[in-house]
Amino acid sequence: MKHYLFVVGLLVSSVNSEPWVDTRDEFLRADIELLADQGIITVPITTYPLMWSGIIKDLDDVDIADISTNYKDVYWRVKKSGKEALYKNLRQVRVSLSNQEQTIRSFGDEGRAKAEINARRSGMNKRFAWNIEITRVRSPQDKKTVRFDGSYGSVVSGNWIVTLGAVEKWWGPTWNSAILLSNNARPPVGISVQRNYSDNSSNPIFGWLGAWTFNGFIGQLDDQRVIKDTKLTGLSFSFKPHHSVEIGLRATGLWGGEGRTESFTSLIDNFIGNDKCELISERHCLDLYGDDYYSQNGHRLAGLDFRWKLPFDYPVSFYASLYGENESELIPSKTIQQFGLTSSFQIFGSHWKWFAESSDTSSGKGFSQTYESPVYQTGYRYYSRNIGSTYDNDADGVSLGVLGALNRQNRFKFSISSIKMNQDNSNRSDVVLPTIGKQTVDIKRITIDWSFQYSKLGNVNFGISYSDNIYDEFIKIEDKTRFSLDWEYRLQ
């Protein structure tokens, strides 16, 4: 423990600047979406980590006199956050306490275990960015008491940023959960390549794409798995052909590992769906959707999502995510989907964000298909947590959320959900269980978070969530109510 406290002292003695917006601040994300709906921010905004470079460029290019009085406070709030992230020296520690682990996570959630202490040391210049982050966890479900999640090193080459580390990702326009990549599972260590500025293409053939960005990565899943050393891969291409429309084309997959092909050709084939047939039994591959067929190249999820600001004076946007499991063809089937509406409103001069979402992770081909594989029997999970949807597979749910600032110091978030998880009351494999185990659970859930921001005392967040049923047999959670307290202190 003394050694850990010494490390904490080293970490908080340095700068804390970062080149991107991460998945930890849902209020900042709400502000960014509001400015994007007003046409002030023009870059794609549905791929996290989200680069600050394009956002700051858009904010610097706009004439403040052209911004409506109703949105100037949001403009200055985002600009201040960006300047601080890029240039201001900060020192920070965080302590999180709760009566039980957080099983159902949404965008902005940070603490995972019953008790955590976290410290960060970050820095950045024109060519490099880095973050050394250490978290000490008390009695975690995955037995990892010391974690380096969030740590990374990045180098800038031209308009590209290459990063090595464990960085949380959130792909798509949704809020409560994301099909491909979310903050539900801990981030594995990997290497990624991401476009820095999302400028329009200078090639007239591709000019219609508008502002665009690209992200590709490969990570190492080092937990206990049926196929040891399985790799997690992903490609994302998002663009804005119109100021009111953003489209994301994305794919992720499980690939390689002990005893599996790891050639560059097989990696490319896995992404594009150019699969080959293997036999698990003596039967021939007559049914490409059955358990007697699997891909020689890996397991893939692919599809698209979009966010469309509807052509109304009132700022309301419709968004959707449509993805499918891998097949022996370019277009995936066994689809899973999410749909939502989001908008903002003002009360006493403060902007508030609301969203309504529906999510269905049961495949059109039947239950126990999504996030499962007859070969990669551990499934699309990392340390027993789904890498995509926080509800795991075969879940059907709806949720409504609202968040905003009561004043400069107080922020509030409320959400209510109705979710039926693991609808088929079974599991495809006994190797690893879904988040809730094998049973079907139908729950109604309410979550409330209240944040207090004071420069001298730090930031304090008090959270409470209540579910009318016990939904987590896997971790043996016994309480329907979860209380949490997070304290974050930044030394100027």
Q: How far apart are CA 114 and CA 346, in angstroms?
A: 36
Instruction: Tell me which of 358-372, 388-402, 431-445, 452-466 is least confident.
Output: 431-445
**What pLDDT, in 10s, does the model give residues 369-384?**
688 887 788 889 999 8
Asked if the bond preceding 49 is cis, omega within 30° of 0, the reply is: yes
**Residue 289 CA from chain centroid, whole number:** 29
- Nearest alpha carbon to residue 472 among 23, 103, 15: 103
Q: How far apart are CA 32 and CA 80, in angstroms?
A: 12
- Nearest alpha carbon to residue 415 among 461, 354, 470: 354
Supply 89's token pair.
Answer: 């020296």
Q: How far apart are CA 241 and CA 251, in angstroms?
A: 20
Query: For 160-168, what is the mean pLDDT?
Result: 97
pLDDT for the residue 297:
54
**What pLDDT, in 10s, does the model give residues 44-74?**
999 999 999 999 999 999 999 889 888 999 9
Query: For 315-340, what is the mean pLDDT?
Result: 80
User: Nearest-5° angle of CA 433, CA 182, CA 334?
Assistant: 65
Q: What is the pTM of this model?
A: 0.89
Checking if the pLDDT of 219 tops 50, the result is: yes
Query: For 318-340, what is the mean pLDDT?
Result: 79
Give the CATH number of the domain where residue 358 resides: 2.40.160.130
In a domain, 405, yes or no: yes
pLDDT for the residue 103:
85
Greater model confidence, 222 or 278: 222
3-state class percentages of the chain: helix first, strand second, coil last, to nearest 5: 15, 40, 45
In 223-298, DSSP assigns E strands to 231-242, 245-255, 277-279, 293-295
Task: Reduce the DSSP state of residue 29 to 3 states and report it.
Answer: helix
In a domain, 492, yes or no: no
Contact 217/233 with Cβ under 8 angstroms? yes
Q: How far apart are CA 111 and CA 100, in angstroms?
A: 11
One-letter amino acid at 9 equals G
CA dihedral 4, 6, 9, 15 (to 10 degrees): -80
Task: Reduce the DSSP state of residue 468 to 3 states and report it.
Answer: coil
**What pLDDT, in 10s, does the model give residues 228-262?**
999 999 999 999 999 999 999 999 999 888 888 87
In a domain, 152, yes or no: no
Contact 389/182 with Cβ under 8 angstroms? yes
Supply 434's token pair.
Answer: 């879904």
Checking if the pLDDT of 30 tops 60, the result is: yes
**What pLDDT, in 10s, does the model give residues 181-204?**
999 999 999 999 999 999 998 888
In a domain, 435, yes or no: yes
In a domain, 110, yes or no: no
User: Nearest-5° angle of CA 142, CA 189, CA 179?
Assistant: 75
Q: How many domains does the chain have?
A: 1
Q: Bridge-partner residues for 485, per DSSP?
A: 97, 462
pLDDT for the residue 2:
42
In a domain, 118, yes or no: no
Q: List the domain range (segments joined by +) for residue 282.
A: 20-91+169-484
In a domain, 80, yes or no: yes
Greater model confidence, 354 or 422: 354
In a domain, 374, yes or no: yes
